[in-house]
Chains A and B, each alone.
Chain A
């Protein structure tokens, strides 16, 4: 335990930046490479790094298994729910033009919400898989 002090301190230092980078990739998805999927993987990567350095129990305090398992369907719910809003306003499913006064910017808002759903599902799935693999030997 004494020799991995560099790793442990380094991990602690880098964690917030990983999360920040995930958010950057998430929100910058419309102008550059990125989007919900990539951001979700990066965000999940942060928790996986915690697990590798401090052990799986620490990681489960950051992202409890119950939460992670709920995130998988929750993201899809956000995606589908955004699609349903269009329907409630009398337009077709997934029509985001109703989300604001001006159609193009309303559509952008729709994509933003949908991508948030993707982020939640992807990071949830990544972590569920990681937890499943880690738990196998236990």
Chain B
């Protein structure tokens, strides 16, 4: 038993990787789905055990291949990345039961096994980024998850899916290149790639070579910024989410950008924190400025969308703005807000995309006008949609309120009333785009598409309801979200110079 618990960090990544390979070898949809289901439901237990260990003890260090850090690759799990691992693996598990029917209706049968292969591969990559303590290894996992993501998006029914996957491929590759350039620069001045080792060695290096270190930070921030779709580097995101298969939109919106944000936090506070006093740098002002722009531009663009998946994608741009706002504020409350919104937004957005996915499954479209009156036909699904939508606005009693509360506290500390006003005003725009959809869904005449539609099948309904329930639950009981986020933020702020 102890032997297994010592291997948990490796199993977290190796299990989905092996699963992906086996799913590809099976070549048939249903057994591949069963395998994916088994593996993706094992992963939250592994990350739960890791999270428990880090909450009650020291960070976990795992030596890959038995080589001692900083020479070998080290997996290093502390409160922050255990939280991210828990988030990614739980979302990956919860939305999977939805996948079977949705994939069956949206993707050609001979590609089903490949879909599950790519799903697990993407999961392995994302978990790998979160768990690794090695800057270059993070790049490798970034590429694994990105390549899998491109394939997943390209599997969309619409022909434009291929084009948006290609668009994302170009942008994503540029992002990864910039990231690896940044890592190269700091490797040049420190001679190490281990993040923990980097954080101490950068102190000396910064004293001697300040410019390369800052340039490295700049490359990494921009590179990761492209991956997490920080305004104005978000242009790839709406197309990618709009044309991807329904499950993929939900999965990516909930996990891929979140893991990129984790990398941003890890580098700006963890790796560079001791050396360059991140909160005092101009880059934080830049991040705050871009985040506020994202909050408004994303939300305003969402108001004008008629395709609801596109609307949710633009809303993601706006919500990512809130998360990076927390990072840019760089104080205890702000960072807590950012980290907690990682989880809360992931839960809410997954619920919203899945609810739309259920609508697409039943009526084959997610244009706003085609969905009018669907609330009466699919009451449970659309109630869940409304609840998660209220969460996006930040209504008290939902998880979104908790995130915005912390962000507001953090903003007051740094920027005073103008920042707070920006948070409230952009939330008002969210009222418009969520409210508009809820009004059409519940209070309009039924459209011809909706006639004859019925409630989503149970396997699709359950994940949606679970996520909607979580939206409400984490609005009241914040021990698991804000509690852990507070500890992670304390650790990050405490590690600063």
Contact = CB atoms under 8 A, between A and B. Distances in A.
A127 B421 CA distance: 58
B25 A93 contact: no
A40 B10 CA distance: 28
Contact of A93 (B14, B21, B24, B117): B14
Contacts of B117: 73
B65 interface: yes
B14 A80 contact: yes
A83 interface: yes
Q: Which of A91, A94, A97 has the most CB of B within 10 A?
A: A94
Contact of B24 (A72, A91, A97): A72
Nearest to B66: A95
**Size category, B interface:** 10 to 19
If over half of A's interface residues share one DSSP class (helix, strand or loop), that class is named, otherwise mixed; here it is helix
Contact of A77 (B10, B22, B63, B65): B22
Nearest to A93: B10
A14 to B, nearest CB: 33
A95 B7 CA distance: 12
Contacts of A23: none
Interface string B1-32: 00100010010001001101110110100000
Interface string A84-105: 1011001111111100000000
A76 interface: yes
Contact of B65 (A69, A70, A93): A93
A63 interface: no
Nearest to B25: A73
B141 to A, nearest CB: 14
A92 B7 contact: yes
Contacts of A96: 65
A96 B64 CA distance: 11
A101 B153 CA distance: 48
A70 B14 contact: no
A41 B249 CA distance: 35
Contact of B14 (A74, A84, A90): A84
A5 B223 CA distance: 54
B241 interface: no
B62 interface: yes
Interface residues of A, number: 20
Contacts of A93: 7, 10, 14, 64-65
Interface string A104-127: 000000000000000000000000
Contacts of A70: 25, 27
Contacts of A76: 17, 21
Nearest to B117: A73
A105 to B, nearest CB: 16
A91 B17 CA distance: 19
A77 B66 contact: no
A77 B7 contact: no
Contacts of A80: 14, 17-18, 21
A77 B21 CA distance: 6
B25 A92 contact: no
Contact of A73 (B10, B24, B66): B24
Contacts of B20: 73
Given A73-B24, A77-B22, A92 B66 contact: yes
A77 B18 contact: yes
Contacts of A94: 64-66
Nearest to A103: B66
Nearest to B114: A69
A25 to B, nearest CB: 24
Interface string B64-76: 1110000000000
Nearest to A90: B3
Interface string B300-315: 0000000000000000
Given A72-B24, A73-B25, A87-B7, A97 B66 contact: yes
A93 B117 CA distance: 22
Contacts of B18: 77, 80, 84
A90 B10 CA distance: 13
Contacts of A83: 14, 65
Contact of B10 (A69, A92, A97): A92
Nearest to A75: B21
Contact of A92 (B21, B22, B24, B64): B64
Nearest to A121: B21
Contacts of B27: 69-70
B127 to A, nearest CB: 14
Nearest to A66: B27
Interface of B: 3, 7, 10, 14, 17-18, 20-22, 24-25, 27, 62-66, 117
7 contacts: A73-B24, A74-B21, A76-B17, A84-B18, A92-B66, A93-B7, A93-B10
Q: What 6 A-B pairs come out closest when comparing CB atoms?
A: A73-B24, A93-B10, A94-B65, A95-B66, A73-B21, A77-B21
Interface of A: 69-70, 72-74, 76-77, 80, 83-84, 86-87, 90-97
Given A87-B10, A92-B7, A93-B65, 19 more contacts: A69-B27, A73-B20, A73-B22, A74-B21, A74-B25, A76-B17, A77-B18, A77-B21, A77-B25, A80-B14, A83-B65, A91-B66, A92-B62, A92-B63, A92-B64, A92-B65, A92-B66, A95-B66, A96-B65
